[in-house]
Structure 1
Amino acid sequence: MNAAELGYTAAWRLLRHVPAPLAGAGFRAGADLAWRRGGAGVRRLRRNLRRVRPEASEPELDRLVCAGMRSYARYWLEAFRLPALDPAAIHARMRPATTGLDVAVAAMQEGRGVVLALPHVGNWDVAGVHVIEELRRHGLPAEMTTVVERLRPDPVYRRFVEYRESLGFEIVAQDDGRRAHLALTRRLRAGGLVCLIADRDLTGTGIDVPFFGDTIRLPSGPASLCALTGAQLHAAVTYFPPGGGWGATVSPAIAVPDRTAVPKATLELARAFEEYVAAHLEDWHMLQELTPGSRG
């Protein structure tokens, strides 16, 4: 077992037993240290935040980056503690701060698949637990399928797959194209749920869209899946409300009647992501480069 795998394994095993205030203080201290050191990820976060707030002074941007790193640290702390938390308790805490999900659930009750496309905001793993619990309470299959980027080294990737499978997610790797396609289309044609993080194009086949005054490329996969299977498309976001807990917003359905509508639907996703990121900027965990468009 290498050092990275050992560290992640220890965190999943041990942090669930550490009192939450103590663990939270430790992760905030780690976030502040990373912010002060200003490594590559912090610098990328700063550049991405600058896109959204070009008018911000340097001290204002400093505060945003620090808050963003603390939010990112909270995501990781929750990831390590989540398998030990009660899904019903998560659902009870999150449901009052969730809007729009009822429309997606209604579509599934009618036998139609649903794709939720999300940006890197908040804690999408917690949101997945909440959505699965919501489906269960409506008598729907308590399952969802998602695609993840394959991490290196491979043992760490396998640990993350095991972690998310323990939450009730079906996981397929982004670079396993045929298996991913079959799993996603099978789920949607059965009237099930697919959740996709969709604010970076990792395949090189995405669609150029405007994004905070620049041009980036978003994956066409969410809209293409809906055109292929007849599923209903929604943009969605999770976030950390003031005072603790979690919140989520699901957009009205985005029409994708056929493949010719895929570019327009992807543009609508980009507009929704702009709105969501601007509203929850401190929870935007974009420590990677956004995928530049051909005109970017």
Structure 2
Amino acid sequence: MSRAPAGSADGLPARLTDLGYAAGWQAVQRLPEPVARGAFDAAGRLAARREGRGTRQLRANLRVATRGELDEDELRDLTGRGLRSYARYWQEAFRLPRLDPARVLRDTEAPGGEHLTAARDRTRPAIVALPHSGNWDAAGIWFVDWLGGPFMTVAERLRPESLYERFVAFRETLGMRVVPLTGGPRPSAAVLREWLESGGSVCLLVDRDLSGAGVPVDFFGRRTTMPGGPALLAAQTGASLHSAVSRFSDTGWVHDIGPEIPLDGGPRLRDRVGSAMQGLADAFTAGIAQRPEDWHVLGPIWPDVPPDPPAGERR
């Protein structure tokens, strides 16, 4: 979930932020789909031309994700496609409450779904870890249908509180059960663990370490950290741990689901969690490389990869 503009939860700026999102949400839902898609595509193109900080960070991230193999023109083109893909995500997110789930399911491919079926056949819940790629809300619709019921996920708390509640309500209409990353009545990890122990399944976005206290991994050949929650929960509950990397197709969505990631890194829990998180990072690397423009990360991933400088300052 993306971070909304900050503001006092009770102040006028916060209320205006929430009202602005609500009005935009309703307006986009009322537009004919081709008009909405064209408007958001144009917004993505405009963002690419303006080269704000997020755009320049995306460019730097994509340089790493493509192993530095693109020249400057190719990287600029990829970054532009990435922003248009991100705009498509938001256009679809705003319109998903009005879309027939049957249409989403019809236009969804889920290669690797047999790996989840194998876990279900052994009556094990699943933990599915995803990067911010493609449309993870559409992936949620598919997973709810596959499960025949809800799964649990975690959301970054937004400000104002009313905006956070709006996003939570939206996702719960899709069949998700959402707990806040911070500020809830109980720690999110405890709630997730109980859900898994009762037989429920979990989906978590884990390619950004917002806490700064994650597990060290190599990701696209560079050292960074990722939240260790998926692997720790799998070790604690016996749930099967899988990667899923989403991307767009011309008409719909593809969610590549990986085989179960083993927790066999040694006798110590810390080592098993670290090994499993590296397995997730490797799966993300392979999946994102198939279509890097659908990886929507406009914030820092690696501590030594800052945003690119503005175009006029590049060598």
**What TM-score, normalized to structure 1?**
0.91
| Mapped pair 1:227 → 2:235 | yes
Stretch of structure 1 that moved more, 105-114 or 29-38: 105-114
Structure 1 contact 240–246 (Cα < 8 Å) conserved: yes
Structure 2 contact 189–229 (Cα < 8 Å) conserved: no
- 1:168 aligns with 175
For residues 167 and 39 of structure 1, the distance between their equivalents in structure 2, rounded to whole angstroms, comes to 32
Stretch of structure 1 that moved more, 79-88 or 221-230: 79-88
Distance 1:186-1:12 versus aligned 2 partners, 3 A rule: same
| Mapped pair 1:35 → 2:35 | no
- 1:71 aligns with 85
Q: Aligned Cα RMSD in Å? A: 1.7
Task: Spell out, residue by residue over 1:216-271, the C-alpha distance to the aligned partner (whole angstroms, 9 max, x if none).
Answer: 10111100000000100001111102x22101111000112672411111111111
For residues 213 and 249 of structure 1, the distance between their equivalents in structure 2, rounded to whole angstroms, comes to 22
Task: Spell out, residue by residue over 1:54-80, the C-alpha distance to the aligned partner (whole angstroms, 9 max, x if none).
Answer: 121111111001000000000000000
For residues 2 and 37 of structure 1, the distance between their equivalents in structure 2, rounded to whole angstroms, comes to 28
1:117-196 alignment runs, 5 A limit: 117-136=129-148, 142-176=149-183, 178-196=186-204
For residues 89 and 279 of structure 2, the distance between their equivalents in structure 1, rounded to whole angstroms, comes to 27
Once the two structures are TM-superposed, the CA of residue 116 in structure 1 deviates from its matched residue by 0.3
| Mapped pair 1:91 → 2:98 | no
Task: Spell out, residue by residue over 1:83-133, the C-alpha distance to the aligned partner (whole angstroms, 9 max, x if none).
Answer: 111112211211xx2111232134234321110000110000011011111
- 1:245 aligns with 252
For residues 153 and 80 of structure 1, the distance between their equivalents in structure 2, rounded to whole angstroms, comes to 18
* Paired letter, 1:123: N
Of 28, 32, 35, which residue of structure 2 is paired with 1:19? Answer: 32
SS at match of 2:208: coil
Structure 2 contact 44–87 (Cα < 8 Å) conserved: yes
- 1:139 aligns with none
Distance 1:156-1:128 versus aligned 2 partners, 3 A rule: same
Stretch of structure 1 that moved more, 63-72 or 167-176: 167-176
Structure 1 contact 200–291 (Cα < 8 Å) conserved: no
For residues 225 and 176 of structure 1, the distance between their equivalents in structure 2, rounded to whole angstroms, comes to 20
Task: Spell out, residue by residue over 1:120-157, the C-alpha distance to the aligned partner (whole angstroms, 9 max, x if none).
Answer: 10000011011111222xxxxx1110011112232221
Matched residues, percent identical? 44
For residues 61 and 79 of structure 2, the distance between their equivalents in structure 1, rounded to whole angstroms, comes to 10
For residues 256 and 179 of structure 2, the distance between their equivalents in structure 1, rounded to whole angstroms, comes to 25
Once the two structures are TM-superposed, the CA of residue 213 in structure 1 deviates from its matched residue by 2.6
* Paired letter, 1:40: R
Structure 2 contact 40–88 (Cα < 8 Å) conserved: yes
For residues 109 and 180 of structure 1, the distance between their equivalents in structure 2, rounded to whole angstroms, comes to 28
For residues 102 and 251 of structure 1, the distance between their equivalents in structure 2, rounded to whole angstroms, comes to 9
Of 209, 229, 235, which residue of structure 2 is paired with 1:201? Answer: 209
**What TM-score, normalized to structure 2?**
0.86
- 2:15 aligns with 2
What is the aligned length? 285
- 2:310 aligns with none
Structure 1 contact 121–280 (Cα < 8 Å) conserved: no
| Mapped pair 1:82 → 2:96 | yes
Stretch of structure 1 that moved more, 211-220 or 200-209: 200-209
SS at match of 1:175: coil
For residues 232 and 32 of structure 2, the distance between their equivalents in structure 1, rounded to whole angstroms, comes to 45
SS at match of 1:201: coil
- 1:290 aligns with 301
| Mapped pair 1:267 → 2:278 | yes
Q: Greater helix percent: which structure?
A: 1
